[in-house]
A and B are shown apart, each in its own frame.
Chain A
Amino acid sequence: MRATIKDHIRESRLFNERAAVALVIALLLIGVIIARLVYLQIISHEHFATLADENRINIVAIPPTRGLIYDRNGVLLAQNLPAFSLEITPEQTPDLEATIAGLRSLLDISDEEVRRFHRQARQNRPFNSIPLKFHLSEEEVARFAVNRHRFPGVDIEARLIRDYPLGPLAVHAVGYVGRINEEELKTLDAANYSATRFIGKTGVEKYYEDLLHGRVGYKHVETNALGRILREVSRTPPVPGADIYLSLDINLQVLAEQALGERRGAVVALDPRNGEILALVSMPGYDPNPFVTGIDPAAYQALQSSPDKPLFNRALRGQYPPGSIIKPFIGLAGLDYLLLAMGTTSFCPGWYSLPGDDHRYRDWKKEGHGRTDLEKAIVQSCDVYFYDLALSLGIDRIHDFLARFGFGQPTGIDLTGEAGGLLPSRAWKQARRHEPWYLGETLITGIGQGYTLATPLQLAVTTAVIAQRGERIRPHILYARRDPEEPALHALEPQALPPVELAMPRHWDQIIAAMEKAVHSIRGTAYRIGRDAPYRIAGKTGTAQVFGIKQDEEYKEEEVAAHLRDHALFVAFSPVEEPRIAVAVIVENGGSGGATAAPIARQLIDYYLSSQEPSS
């Protein structure tokens, strides 16, 4: 019911009043907006302009090209080859799983490759492209290209992939690169490696990683919100890594590897004058190329579980009892400490026993060497003479003297993972075995058995010390480097170590003469290589026991299982008058050093000295 009659004029006035209020409120609210805009666009303009630029400009790292590796004569050992890889940018891929499944139906992609992709994808930003498969063949590239439209965010990239043209040759020296793992990611310079996918894993590739890697470059690019690059704004080119030249002579390396053949063993050859490693062989080896992009687990498992241990670097990490190789050093100690005369003799009945003990320490020659002086003891490798000498010296002096040559500690070669060997002492035994030192242990230390262990590298380096009459130089495998955009090679300066100084320098000559006779005299243990040698070699054979024989038993090679046979050892340097090469050879379970190891050394010396002739 309408009680009131509408008053139009009053209603109109009331409305106008309300409309005016509404207008004022609206204008006030617009005032708020304007105040906000003044704040955003004028007061904070700088701040937001910076933020907009940060949004817009992205820094993209450009990987440097890894330096090449050559041998001393310029033979290429490691290079970078362009290879097609299939890469996925996760952010631009709508359904990652479906994309991978689709790609797998098109190309041959293993579970392992998928697994590795996911691991990499987790470590990267979603707009970075992650390789799924490396080394696509031309045919695979073509097959993908036809179907490309089905796979947004997937691309074929041409990248430089490390390649070792000589395959397994010198693998234990050169090493290989592989994809950076999480562990390495924690320690490396994240900025410099921001575009790098590979890092040196072993060998020279690892030791000289810093040299080979180079400096990362950058480009500032304008990107959109998805991270897609629209335009390059500026660029700082990367600095490629330095090319490096190894002191290895690859021909010598080939020769040594072929000489060892199917046998397990190691060869180290170096120039005693400057410490340059000429050959560093550990056999068997393996092909490093599959490791670069990721070896498939079955193949890796096969390498890992092989009884021949191809992955094990025997030259650097294999620790063997030096056996009779130690004798020239013990002889030197005798000359130096005891002022022993070369002519001093002792009688060798074929065995030795300590006073008050009926344990017989055997000589390798059952019937004995008879009356023996130091020279004969080295030439014929008489054990009894050295039992006696070791007893006279005592373990403390033996330890101190051998330590001066570098036994028991890493040589400091420019390769990682080197083992230090073992030079026993009273203190060592007390600390490690909680036992006192026994006299019998001194005896067997005198013939390089017992606790003493040395790596093939150590044997070569210590032999070089004799060759240089006490001069010690840190062994090295880097010969020279060539920095980017500089044609000149920078040779590495050899680094001298504290020399071994004897009371009488002629003692060197005496020991070297004995070692020379061990090779060249008809009774010498290595006469078979010295017989027809056109130059003079000083050497020493050795046989390292793998298998302990009981007191009343006799070692018969044919009766002992192959893997328990003695290791054959030989060290040598040549020419005696002016040594240019020192060699250590070890053939695992090879039997006698003179028969097995020495001929290998002879081949190396033959080749090396002839290749050094002025005519060639």
Chain B
Amino acid sequence: MIGHARPERRWGDRRGARILVRGLHLDIPLVLALILLSLLGLATLYSASGQDMAMVERQLIRLGVAFLVMFMLAQIPAHHIERWAPWVFGGGLLLLVAVLLFGETGKGAQRWLDLGLFRFQPSEIMKIAVPIMVSWYLAEHPLPPRPRTCAVALLIIVVPVLLIARQPDLGTSLLIAGSGLFVLLLSGISWRLVAWSACVIAASAPLLWYGMREYQRERVLTFLDPESDPLGAGYHIIQSKIAIGSGGLYGKGWLNGSQSQLEFLPERSTDFVFAAFGEEFGFIGIMVLLALYIFILVRGLYIATQAQDTFTRLLAGSLILTFFVYIFVNICMVTGLLPVVGLPLPLISYGGTSMVTIMAAFGILMSIHTHRKLLST
């Protein structure tokens, strides 16, 4: 921990508060944006839950835990993470195998591991462990990576992805595949290779179809034609579109959304909270929300470009792009642009596990940014 003594001296001529914050290893612009998002989320949740204060309190506690996790991870210098990378990844893999062997089943999928005190999803660990592992592996090699390096990186990605897909949890496995592939893309593999693999993936789409469970196929079919089953599987998408569309430019006002208040909108406080938000705050409200997300995205990418070594650079880039995938996929699903996959809207959706993971990623980002060593130029 010699690293952070020097910056204090350097920034010592700035305001005292800055010094304090610097000592906390937090990135103020990110923290402010995240707090603002959380407040928006709590307000939306209060409305969408039908003014259920107990739900808001539970969400507040989760947010507290998530911010705590973020704060703690921000304290760990990135090179420690780099050192632990294979162990974290290996441990995660073992847990995934354990889930398949001993895991608890809920809603037709085996995702949970009961540790006595609490239950958790090892796949959440992999959301961070996979980009860490791939970044670690690629950082050990000259970039842009050679085909053999790429192949090994792909293997690192594919093994956990397949294990999670077996649970089955298609949404998470695709998200994790994405987080690993982002590292590869950022590492500078040739666009030709990217195009080529895209073709392979497209060609194997039919194989994917046959590998899917019945409910997964149904979701895809429902996405293609929601009107075919308006009271069954298509109901979510139809009601969600009605909620967003009826919100109009200015929205119906907080607590006034008929679709969410009268419970026409399913999953209105969890996966479909964006529709509840769009109904009450309208197009303008959504623009504010998107502006916040874009700000976080830009800030995250900035942190990545400012990172001092390949590992932290790749990791930061991958984490922030994965965060963007959450937002993009969730909004597309709620607005009917993508099939329904169970991804929450970061910091707005009710629910704990993925929020902790997301905030952990921000903790790592902040750590990367605040533990930079001063380089002599």
Interface, chain A (partner B; CB < 8 A): 2-8, 10-12, 14-19, 22-23, 26-27, 29-30, 32-34, 36-38, 40-42, 44-45, 47-49, 51-53, 55-56, 222-226, 230
Q: Given the complex, which residues of B lie within 8 Å of A4, measured CB to CB?
A: 142
CB closest chain-A residue, reference B265: A225
Q: Given the complex, which residues of A lie within 8 Å of B314, measured CB to CB?
A: 15
B242 within 8 A of A: yes
Known pairs A11-B188, A37-B283, A41-B283. 20 more at Cβ < 8 A? A3-B142, A5-B142, A15-B304, A15-B314, A15-B317, A18-B317, A22-B185, A23-B298, A23-B301, A40-B241, A41-B249, A41-B286, A45-B245, A45-B246, A45-B249, A49-B248, A52-B242, A55-B242, A224-B263, A225-B263
A-B pairs with CB below 8 Å: how many?
A: 142
Q: How far is the CA of A468 from the CA of B201 in the complex (A)?
A: 100
CB closest chain-B residue, reference A230: B262
Listed stretches B10-18, B329-337, B341-349, B366-374; interface member: B329-337
CB closest chain-B residue, reference A48: B245
Asked whether, in the complex, the Cβ of B186 is within 8 Å of the Cβ of A42, the reply is: no
Cβ distance A228 to chain B, nearest Cβ, rounded Å? 9
Q: Which 5 A-B pairs have the closest CB atoms?
A: A48-B245, A52-B246, A4-B142, A14-B188, A224-B262
Q: A19-B304, A41-B249 are in contact. Are A36 and B185 (CB under 8 A)?
A: no
**Which one of A6, A16, A19 has the highest number of Cβ atoms from chain B below 10 Å of its Cβ?**
A19
Asked whether, in the complex, the Cβ of A16 is within 8 Å of the Cβ of B262, the reply is: no
Cβ distance A473 to chain B, nearest Cβ, rounded Å? 59
Asked whether, in the complex, the Cβ of A41 is within 8 Å of the Cβ of B248, the reply is: yes
Q: How far is the CA of A18 from the CA of B305 in the complex (A)?
A: 10
Asked whether, in the complex, the Cβ of A33 is within 8 Å of the Cβ of B143, the reply is: no
CB closest chain-B residue, reference A231: B262
Q: How far is the CA of A49 from the CA of B182 in the complex (A)?
A: 40
Asked whether, in the complex, the Cβ of A45 is within 8 Å of the Cβ of B290, the reply is: no
Asked whether, in the complex, the Cβ of B245 is within 8 Å of the Cβ of A19, the reply is: no
Cβ-defined partner of B317 (8 Å) among A19, A34, A49 = A19
Cβ distance A486 to chain B, nearest Cβ, rounded Å? 41
Q: How far is the CA of A6 from the CA of B264 in the complex (A)?
A: 58
Cβ distance B306 to chain A, nearest Cβ, rounded Å? 10
Cβ-defined partner of B186 (8 Å) among A22, A33, A49 = A22
Cβ distance A162 to chain B, nearest Cβ, rounded Å? 37
Asked whether, in the complex, the Cβ of A19 is within 8 Å of the Cβ of B337, the reply is: no
Asked whether, in the complex, the Cβ of A36 is within 8 Å of the Cβ of B337, the reply is: yes
Q: How far is the CA of A29 from the CA of B247 in the complex (A)?
A: 22
Q: How far is the CA of A19 from the CA of B186 in the complex (A)?
A: 7
Asked whether, in the complex, the Cβ of A27 is within 8 Å of the Cβ of B294, the reply is: yes
CB pairs A–B below 8 angstroms (30 shown): A4-B142, A6-B143, A6-B310, A8-B310, A11-B313, A14-B144, A18-B187, A19-B304, A26-B324, A32-B332, A34-B287, A36-B337, A37-B335, A38-B283, A40-B244, A41-B248, A42-B249, A42-B283, A44-B245, A45-B248, A48-B241, A49-B246, A52-B243, A52-B258, A52-B264, A55-B242, A55-B259, A56-B264, A224-B263, A230-B262
Cβ distance B34 to chain A, nearest Cβ, rounded Å? 18
> Contact mask B211-248 → A, CB, 8 Å, 1/0?
00000000000000000000000000001011111111
Asked whether, in the complex, the Cβ of A19 is within 8 Å of the Cβ of B305, the reply is: yes
Q: Given the complex, which residues of A lie within 8 Å of B31, measured CB to CB?
A: none
Q: How far is the CA of A15 from the CA of B247 in the complex (A)?
A: 41
Q: Given the complex, which residues of B lie within 8 Å of A26, measured CB to CB?
A: 297, 321, 324, 328
Cβ distance A435 to chain B, nearest Cβ, rounded Å? 65
Cβ-defined partner of B335 (8 Å) among A2, A10, A16, A40 = A40
Asked whether, in the complex, the Cβ of A56 is within 8 Å of the Cβ of B337, the reply is: no
Q: Is the interface of A mostly helix, strand, loop or mixed?
A: helix
Asked whether, in the complex, the Cβ of A42 is within 8 Å of the Cβ of B264, the reply is: no
Q: How far is the CA of A159 from the CA of B363 in the complex (A)?
A: 65
B79 within 8 A of A: no
B119 within 8 A of A: no
B6 within 8 A of A: no
CB closest chain-B residue, reference A38: B283
B278 within 8 A of A: yes
Q: Given the complex, which residues of B lie within 8 Å of A223, measured CB to CB?
A: 262
Q: Given the complex, which residues of B lie within 8 Å of A230, measured CB to CB?
A: 262
Q: How far is the CA of A124 from the CA of B282 in the complex (A)?
A: 38
Q: Given the complex, which residues of B lie within 8 Å of A47, measured CB to CB?
A: 245
Q: Given the complex, which residues of A lie within 8 Å of B278, measured CB to CB?
A: 37, 41
Cβ-defined partner of B264 (8 Å) among A12, A30, A225 = A225
Asked whether, in the complex, the Cβ of A52 is within 8 Å of the Cβ of B259, the reply is: yes
Cβ-defined partner of B321 (8 Å) among A22, A36, A37, A40 = A22
Cβ distance A126 to chain B, nearest Cβ, rounded Å? 11
Q: Given the complex, which residues of B lie within 8 Å of A29, measured CB to CB?
A: 328
Q: How far is the CA of A559 from the CA of B185 in the complex (A)?
A: 115
Q: Given the complex, which residues of A lie within 8 Å of B287, measured CB to CB?
A: 34
Q: A4-B142, A48-B245, A55-B259 are in contact. Are A15 and B283 (CB under 8 A)?
A: no
Q: A41-B247, A41-B248 are in contact. Are A18 and B262 (CB under 8 A)?
A: no
Asked whether, in the complex, the Cβ of B263 is within 8 Å of the Cβ of A226, the reply is: yes
Q: How far is the CA of A19 from the CA of B297 in the complex (A)?
A: 11
B141 within 8 A of A: yes
Q: How far is the CA of A374 from the CA of B361 in the complex (A)?
A: 120
Q: How far is the CA of A404 from the CA of B309 in the complex (A)?
A: 117
Cβ distance A539 to chain B, nearest Cβ, rounded Å? 71
Cβ distance A22 to chain B, nearest Cβ, rounded Å? 6
Asked whether, in the complex, the Cβ of A22 is within 8 Å of the Cβ of B248, the reply is: no
Q: Given the complex, which residues of A lie within 8 Å of B290, measured CB to CB?
A: 30, 33-34
Q: Given the complex, which residues of A lie within 8 Å of B298, measured CB to CB?
A: 23
Asked whether, in the complex, the Cβ of B294 is within 8 Å of the Cβ of A51, the reply is: no
Asked whether, in the complex, the Cβ of B310 is within 8 Å of the Cβ of A19, the reply is: no
Identify which of residues 270-299 in chain B touch chain A, using a CB-to-CB cut-off of 8 Å: 278, 282-283, 286-287, 290, 293-294, 297-298
Asked whether, in the complex, the Cβ of B142 is within 8 Å of the Cβ of A2, the reply is: yes
Q: Given the complex, which residues of A lie within 8 Å of B317, measured CB to CB?
A: 15, 18-19, 22
Asked whether, in the complex, the Cβ of A7 is within 8 Å of the Cβ of B241, the reply is: no
**Which one of B182, B246, B278 has the highest number of Cβ atoms from chain A below 10 Å of its Cβ?**
B246
Q: Given the complex, which residues of B lie within 8 Å of A2, measured CB to CB?
A: 141-142
Cβ distance A137 to chain B, nearest Cβ, rounded Å? 37
